[in-house]
Amino acid sequence: MNTSKEEINIVWFKRDLRLQDNEAIHNALALNKRILFLYVFENTLINDPHYDERHWNFIRQSLEDLNKQLKDYKTRVLCIRTDVINAFNQLLDVYKINTVFSHQETGLLITYNRDKDFARYCRNNSIKWVENRNNGVLRGLLNREDWFEKWEGYMQNTQYKNELNTQQTLFTEEISILEKYFQVEKLQTPKNNILQKGGATMAWRYAETFFEKRHEKYMNNISKPTLARESCSRLSPYIAWGNISTRQIYQEAIKHKTAANKKHLGAFISRLRWQAHFIQKFEMEHTMENASINKGYQKLKKSISSEYQKAWETGKTGFPLIDACMRCLNETGYLNFRMRAMVVSFFTHILWQPWQASSKHLSRLFLDFEPGIHFSQLQMSAGETGINLLRIYNPIKNSLSHDEDGTFIKKWVPELAHLPISFIHEPYLMTALDQQFNNFKLGEDYPNPIIEIKSARKKASDILWNMKKDARVQEENYRILKKHTYSEKNKM
């Protein structure tokens, strides 16, 4: 080994794309060695079907924002496209790497296997790898006996205030030299005013407007597909990709909570807690990525219909609210929670398709794709956990309740916008004369319903309620409750 190489430490950014309240940076700054900030656009993840270009653009924007903040310290993030071990092999040609700092990632099986390979690589190359807890999620838990207290304690702890100086990091010029060894990832992204833009700067803009004003109708509008876009925080992508920590938002919410707004901000804080709960569940039971957490439901057989799936994916099912949601999600990457549950319920219950067949399509569309929440929520909405209340959403009832004047449908299903409000929710009720008067033809201007909904709902309800009585399902219920829900059931 060439002893003349400078010994450095590396902060490996993953889903923690921020400078403040970032423990990896804090731990690296505590040591007397210069730091290289690194982000690897991993080929294996870029090619993984769970991800979409919208995710990588959000990450590029987040890194560009990071670099603007780091400019004052005459450094920036080394952003390269390769695989992690290849990246470190190249870096070892130039520097001796003492320690790598990163957070514990609760991710897909592919990232779990990558981390196992990287841990082996570090041992073989005498590199220390220090991983810190992420957003209060604990690795290695066997049950949740005191999880709530630990999570809340973490949220109330002092944030990591990271103060850099130019002597602690590699200079921009040195990073430019390193880039000659790699395929550099360009951070420029296409202009898009529909998808939320990444970065901590943008995250705090959303946070400030939410806590100053937008939260005032949070609980009133949380279920409404149009109004939720304004009244909900819209912070989920920034938390998912780590532009902002859950602790930062938790403490900001506590700071703004008053007697007048406690209903709204109290509910918001509760949802931060539940978000962590679902990620913790996935951390403890990673098989949820592909199989039902309740093993009793793994024998549930559903036939695959490419016709149904295509209609659902493209927003052409003949059910206006479902179609509006899917088209909106495709364009904007966002839906409020109730509408997300409804489109999954429609896919798994009404169309009777396996939730696994919706997973990758939805993950590609959700700008805030967070594996721990994604798979937990899919299974809950599909009614395959055994412990949650079975909800088979009625898209017509939800349309009438949450989009009364058809604003959301008119925007995203414009071919229905000129119809009388009575037909916007259920265009298939139009008679031939109604269609003639409205210059509209079902089956041409807008599809007929692809399924008869009443019989489909009854079939799903009968099968799933009957399965709740299955001995294997009940046995699994007990196991899941014991492992995952004790603290939430008794203390939340």
What is the spatial distance between Cα 161 and Cα 25, in angstroms, rounded to a whole number?
Answer: 10
| pTM beyond 0.85, yes or no | yes
**pLDDT tens digit sequence for 315-351:** 999 999 999 999 999 999 999 999 999 999 999 999 9
How many angstroms separate the most distant Cα atoms in the chain?
87
Confidence check: pLDDT of 100 > 60: yes
Q: Find how far residue 261's CA is from the centre of its chain.
A: 27
pLDDT (average), residues 29-34 = 95
Q: What is the pLDDT of residue 489?
A: 44
Q: What is the pLDDT of residue 492?
A: 38
User: Which percentage of the chain shows pLDDT scores above 90?
Assistant: 92
**237 neighbors 58 (Cβ within 8 angstroms):** yes
Q: What is the pLDDT of residue 448?
A: 97
CA distances from 214 to 175, 203, 221, 239, 243 (A): 42, 15, 11, 18, 20
Q: What is the pLDDT of residue 384?
A: 92
CATH of 200-284, one of 1.20.140.10, 1.10.3470.10, 1.10.3720.10, 1.25.40.80: 1.25.40.80
Confidence check: pLDDT of 164 > 50: yes
Q: What is the pLDDT of residue 211?
A: 98
pLDDT (average), residues 386-411 = 94
What is the spatial distance between Cα 61 and Cα 94, in angstroms, rounded to a whole number?
Answer: 28
Torsion (CA) 316, 318, 322, 328 in degrees, nearest 10? 40
Question: DSSP class of residue 301?
Answer: -
Q: Which CATH superfamily is domain 7-156+167-181 in?
A: HUPs (3.40.50.620)
Confidence check: pLDDT of 212 > 80: yes
Q: How confident is the prediction for the chain on average, in pLDDT?
A: 95
What is the spatial distance between Cα 325 and Cα 233, in angstroms, rounded to a whole number?
Answer: 19
Q: What is the pLDDT of residue 193?
A: 82
pLDDT (average), residues 443-466 = 96
**pLDDT tens digit sequence for 44-92:** 999 999 999 999 999 999 999 999 999 999 999 999 999 999 999 999 9
What is the spatial distance between Cα 52 and Cα 105, in angstroms, rounded to a whole number?
Answer: 19
Residue type present at position 264? H
CATH of 289-491, one of 3.40.50.300, 3.90.226.10, 1.10.579.10, 1.10.760.10: 1.10.579.10
Segment among 181-185, 309-313, 344-348, 481-485 with least mean pLDDT: 481-485
Domain limits of the chain? 7-156+167-181, 200-284, 289-491
Residue identified by tokens 């290695």 is 140
Write down how long the chain is: 492
pLDDT band for position 485 (50/70/90)? confident
Q: What is the pLDDT of residue 488?
A: 43
Confidence check: pLDDT of 225 > 50: yes
CA atoms within 13 A on the CB side of 178: 25
Q: What is the pLDDT of residue 435?
A: 97
pLDDT band for position 486 (50/70/90)? low
Cα dihedral sign, 87-89-94-98: positive
**17 neighbors 243 (Cβ within 8 angstroms):** yes
pLDDT band for position 388 (50/70/90)? confident
Confidence check: pLDDT of 3 > 90: no
